[in-house]
Amino acid sequence: MGSPPPGLSWPLIEQARARIAPLIHTTPVMTSATLDARAGAQLYFKCENFQKGGAFKARGASNAVFGLGEAEARRGVATHSSGNHAAALARAARLRAIPAYIVMPHNTPLAKRAAVERQGAAITLCEPTQAARERAAAEILATTGAVLVHPYDDLLVMAGQGTVAVELLEQVADLDVLIAPVSGGGLLSGIAVAARTLRPRLRILGVEPAGADDAVRSLRAGRIVPCERPETIADGLRATVGVRPFAEIRRHVDDILTVPDAAIVAAMRAIWEIMKIIVEPSGAAAYAAVAEGRADLQGKRIGVVLSGGNLDLDTLPWITPARG
């Protein structure tokens, strides 16, 4: 039996806060009288869709890149990801003027590839399988000596994401509940450790799509149970929870709720129509759980993390486009 990996501690989050402050936005908190009335609660939306790069990922990636020592950093950073983490890592590397190596499946949407290219990262295309991604990344690490920055199973990344909660708890007094989506768990675990430290009696909830409910099942089983075939419109919530995030989630998160895709789409549309802001499906998941009007949330002051706003505006879930 190996010893458990070291956990995420509050000092790591405090350090992250100071380290990334010049590199990211302190995102605003928005409210809506209409959505409050619908939910029967007071909702404080933490708008990470307004974060640099359009998602909270800028926090963790910046913390990981700027947390490296000089010699280590000079060799560069690498990751295998097709999503927001890749672009965020490439941006952080550009800001530190070090190389970034990104492995992407060749079927990655062009828009996401372009976002990484704009940051000047070196892209390696591979077959769209987990094995091919890991093999390509291993080769890069071996030849360049670059440091792998995992999208979520990394304490510096988790600490960076945790700054979402640090900010929110400064911006809004007396929150009763904090609710955030969970995928690989970097965001939820960081938030949980931060919130548990700053406000021990806060209720901390995670949300995941019903079609990608590995975190719920893992909590129940007491060990990580991957979703073999995640099926959800929330493309940012398909990963399986990581080892380090899972340890913190077990310790600090009060419950994880699941929401069907229809509720995610309805929540996304309500946020667009009523709040006039763009969130991606993953970004709307936490509000989707709140919108169901669960009795135990009535009358509460709830911090709701809108995790990101990156999506292809040509294909909205409520519009069937004409065949080309």
Q: Which residues bind a copy of itself (CB under 8 A)?
A: 28, 30, 49-50, 54, 269, 272-273, 275-279, 309, 313-314, 316, 318-323
Q: For a copy of itself, which is the closer residue by CB, 35 or 256?
A: 35
C-alpha dihedral, 157 to 167 to 91 to 236, nearest 10°: 60
Distance CA 105, CA 153 (A): 20
C-alpha Rg value of the chain to the nearest Å = 19
Distance CA 51, CA 150 (A): 20
Q: Are strands 29-30 and 42-47 parallel, antiparallel or unpaired?
A: antiparallel
Strand-pair category, 147-148 with 177-181 = unpaired
Which one-letter DSSP state was computed for residue 273?
A: I
Secondary structure class of 125 (helix, strand, coil): strand
Residues 6+ apart with CB under 8 A from 273: none
- For residue 191, which of 204, 200, 201 has the smallest C-alpha distance? 204
Q: Which residues pair with 303 in a beta bridge?
A: 44, 178
From residue 283, how far is each of 111, 183, 209 by CA, in Å? 18, 11, 12
The residue among 88, 119, 81, 71 whose CA lies nearest residue 102 is 81
State the CB neighbour count (10 A cutoff) for residue 86: 28
3-state secondary structure of 237: helix
| CB 304, min distance to a copy of itself, A | 16
Tokens of 318: 């409520």
